[in-house]
């Protein structure tokens, strides 16, 4: 009989926690999992899934406009109902919550609903109930942060966005990262008048510079007002009565401008969820931003306490949290050592238009390998001809001039995420530009441009 209640106790039932618990359970380990909210975590409840569903909805706006050039007439104006979208989205998410529950049940994972705290290297307390475990896995994710400006309580975060009671007439989005541009695109597509305010001069500063520049042009064409090099100084309610979700607020910017909006959405960053977890008291070293410091095996400074996902603040993406969880399970309960590689992680931004990207930006490649060749194209996709849609697609390849290896593949355009996934495999296999050139294109697609780019621009 083991001295512990569980072999593994996972704190957090999101992407990383559920994956680790399930696979450890399937490997025969005795597993407990604590979740304080809904199963599935950020991705399922207030992240990837609801966002993508709402992005699909927002795309219809453009599709209706495009349809006319293709001979379609809509009788009357198309109209949009926010509460139908939210109700249908919530139903789908409830269905996913159930699926997660069944996955845990199927792997014999004991679910403990409540807020978990670490008491020591092998003890977890869930709302007063104590459990011991050989290994504790912290997979508590992150939470959105509001900047410290007067009136911040009048603004909302991405968590609140998914539960707004009505589509705001006017929205100010603060931020220039992927969540800011995605939510701004959704709101704009659904009919809110959107101003995006960002303190820097280019969107998506962690990606290849051309992507943010092209995206800003396209978002502006679609009617989003972009205000760069400015931030929010303060927010005030201008109605005497208590501010409500749909009351008008004054938004004072650092450039002197004053905007009026019903909704102010902060998309200014996320913080690892370690507050109140008892980790420091248990001897776990945290980074300055609260992230759990881990080694290559995802062990904290207390080796029986491990951490994966957003709470370690490496790459905050669901597939990364899943992969990290698999590495932990393989090492603790499987056979052989598995290491996590953070190279060539493809990612998409579901802005309108989408972005898909894998590998190094031009800037990173120049730093890493020195001499690079750059191939770019910027064109009107075939679909936008009859529709007279002014949207343009952008594509870029970053190639190591010495070895001919393709180091980066980047795209702004329809379904960019779908296109880039396949190219991520090519980069993972070390594909060269000559191999891209030797690949037959699929005609007529936008993706074929990636195998027909012949002349470097730099």
Ligand X SMILES: Cc1cc2nc3c(=O)[nH]c(=O)nc-3n(C[C@H](O)[C@H](O)[C@H](O)COP(=O)(O)OP(=O)(O)OC[C@H]3O[C@@H](n4cnc5c(N)ncnc54)[C@H](O)[C@@H]3O)c2cc1C
* Residues marked as catalytic: 443
**Binders of ligand X in range 3-22 (CB under 6 A):** 11-17
| Residue 51 lies near ligand X (rule: CB under 6 A) | yes
| Shortest Cβ 355–ligand X spacing (Å) | 11
Contact status, residue 355 vs residue 395, Cβ threshold 8 Å:
no
| Shortest Cβ 443–ligand X spacing (Å) | 30
| Residue 316 lies near ligand X (rule: CB under 6 A) | yes
Burial class (CB within 10 angstroms; exposed 0-12, middle 13-18, buried 19+) of 304: middle
Q: DSSP character for 122?
A: T
The number of residues that bind ligand X (CB under 6 A) is: 34
Instruction: Please say which residue, 351 or 393, places its beta carbon nearer to ligand X.
Output: 351
| Residue 177 lies near ligand X (rule: CB under 6 A) | no
Number of Cα atoms under 13 Å in the Cβ half of residue 77: 3
Name which of 158, 351, 147, 153 is nearest 231 in CA terms.
147
**Which of 138-146, 228-236, 334-342, 356-364 is the region at the interface with ligand X (rule: CB under 6 A)?**
138-146
Instruction: Please say which residue, 42 or 361, places its beta carbon nearer to ligand X.
Output: 42
| Shortest Cβ 436–ligand X spacing (Å) | 26
Q: DSSP character for 242?
A: P
Residue with tokens 């599935």: 40
| Residue 317 lies near ligand X (rule: CB under 6 A) | yes
**Which of 22-30, 227-235, 307-315, 351-359 is the region at the interface with ligand X (rule: CB under 6 A)?**
307-315
**Binders of ligand X in range 372-391 (CB under 6 A):** none
Q: Is 252 helix (H, G, I), strand (E, B) or coil?
A: strand
| Shortest Cβ 333–ligand X spacing (Å) | 18
Burial class (CB within 10 angstroms; exposed 0-12, middle 13-18, buried 19+) of 288: exposed
Of 48, 232, 265, 355, the residue at the interface with ligand X (CB under 6 A) is 48
| Residue 195 lies near ligand X (rule: CB under 6 A) | no
String of DSSP letters for 377-434: EEE--THHHHT-----EEEEEEEETTT-BEEEEEEESTTHHHHHHHHHHHHHTT-BHH
| Residue 141 lies near ligand X (rule: CB under 6 A) | yes
| Shortest Cβ 275–ligand X spacing (Å) | 9
H or E segment and range at residue 373: strand 372-379
Instruction: Please say which residue, 309 or 391, places its beta carbon nearer to ligand X.
Output: 309
Contact status, residue 311 vs residue 142, Cβ threshold 8 Å:
yes
**Which of 24-32, 60-68, 304-312, 392-400 is the region at the interface with ligand X (rule: CB under 6 A)?**
304-312
**Which of 42-50, 334-342, 386-394, 446-454 is the region at the interface with ligand X (rule: CB under 6 A)?**
42-50
Q: Strand runs (DSSP E) across 212-316, as ranges? A: 225-228, 232-237, 249-253, 258-261, 263-266, 270-272, 305-307
| Shortest Cβ 150–ligand X spacing (Å) | 25
Of 277, 286, 426, 453, the residue at the interface with ligand X (CB under 6 A) is 277
Give, in degrees to the nearest 5, the angle at Cα 115 between 111 and 121.
85
| Residue 414 lies near ligand X (rule: CB under 6 A) | no
Of 31, 34, 190, 453, the residue at the interface with ligand X (CB under 6 A) is 34
User: 431-434: which pairs have CB atoms within 8 A and are 24 or more residues apart?
Assistant: 431/405, 431/406, 432/403, 432/404, 432/405, 432/406, 433/373, 433/375, 433/397, 433/399, 433/404, 433/405, 433/406, 434/404
Residue 419 in tokens: 């296109």
Of 86, 139, 207, 261, the residue at the interface with ligand X (CB under 6 A) is 139
Of 7, 262, 299, 310, the residue at the interface with ligand X (CB under 6 A) is 310
| Shortest Cβ 252–ligand X spacing (Å) | 26
Q: What residues line the site for ligand X (CB under 6 A)? A: 11-17, 34-37, 41-43, 47-48, 51, 115-116, 139-141, 158, 179, 273, 277, 309-311, 316-319, 321
């Amino acid at each position: 009989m083991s001295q512990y209640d569980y072999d593994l106790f996972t704190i957090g039932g999101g992407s990383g926690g559920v994956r680790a618990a399930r696979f450890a359970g399937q490997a025969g380990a005795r597993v407990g999992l604590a979740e304080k909210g809904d199963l599935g975590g950020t991705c399922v409840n207030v992240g990837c899934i609801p966002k993508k569903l709402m992005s699909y909805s927002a795309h219809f706006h453009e599709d209706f406009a495009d349809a006319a050039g293709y001979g379609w007439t809509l009788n009357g104006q198309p109209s949009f109902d926010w509460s139908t979208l939210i109700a249908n989205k919530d139903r789908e998410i409830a269905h996913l919550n159930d699926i997660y529950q069944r996955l845990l049940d199927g792997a014999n994972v004991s679910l403990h609903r409540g807020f978990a705290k670490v008491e020591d290297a092998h003890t977890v307390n869930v709302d007063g109930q104590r459990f011991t475990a050989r290994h504790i896995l912290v997979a508590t994710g992150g939470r959105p942060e509001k900047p410290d400006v007067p009136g911040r309580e009048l603004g909302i975060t991405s968590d609140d966005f998914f539960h707004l009671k009505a589509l705001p007439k006017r929205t100010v989005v603060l931020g220039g990262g992927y969540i800011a541009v995605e939510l701004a695109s959704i709101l704009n597509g659904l009919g809110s008048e959107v101003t995006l305010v960002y303190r820097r001069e280019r969107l998506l500063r962690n990606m290849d510079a051309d992507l943010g520049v092209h995206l800003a042009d396209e978002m502006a064409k679609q009617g989003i007002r972009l205000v760069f090099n400015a931030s929010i100084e303060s927010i005030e309610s201008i109605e005497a009565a208590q501010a409500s979700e749909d009351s008008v607020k004054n938004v004072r910017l650092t450039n002197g401008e004053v905007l009026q909006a019903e909704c102010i959405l902060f998309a200014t960053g996320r913080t690892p969820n370690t507050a109140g977890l008892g980790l420091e008291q248990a001897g776990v070293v945290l980074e300055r931003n609260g992230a759990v410091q881990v080694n290559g095996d995802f062990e904290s400074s207390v080796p029986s306490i491990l951490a994966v996902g957003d709470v370690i603040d490496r790459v905050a993406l669901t597939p990364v949290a899943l992969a990290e969880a698999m590495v932990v399970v393989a090492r603790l309960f499987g056979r052989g050592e598995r290491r996590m590689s953070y190279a060539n992680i493809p990612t998409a931004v579901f802005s309108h238009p989408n972005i898909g990207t894998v590998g190094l930006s031009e800037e990173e490649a120049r730093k890493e390998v020195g001499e690079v060749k750059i191939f770019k194209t910027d064109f009107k996709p075939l679909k936008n001809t009859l529709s007279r849609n002014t949207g343009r697609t952008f594509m870029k390849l970053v190639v190591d001039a010495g070895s001919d290896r393709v180091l980066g593949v980047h795209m702004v355009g329809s379904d960019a995420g779908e296109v880039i996934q396949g190219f991520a495999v090519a980069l993972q296999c070390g594909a060269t530009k000559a191999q891209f050139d030797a690949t037959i294109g699929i005609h007529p697609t936008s993706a074929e441009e990636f195998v027909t780019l012949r002349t470097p621009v730099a």
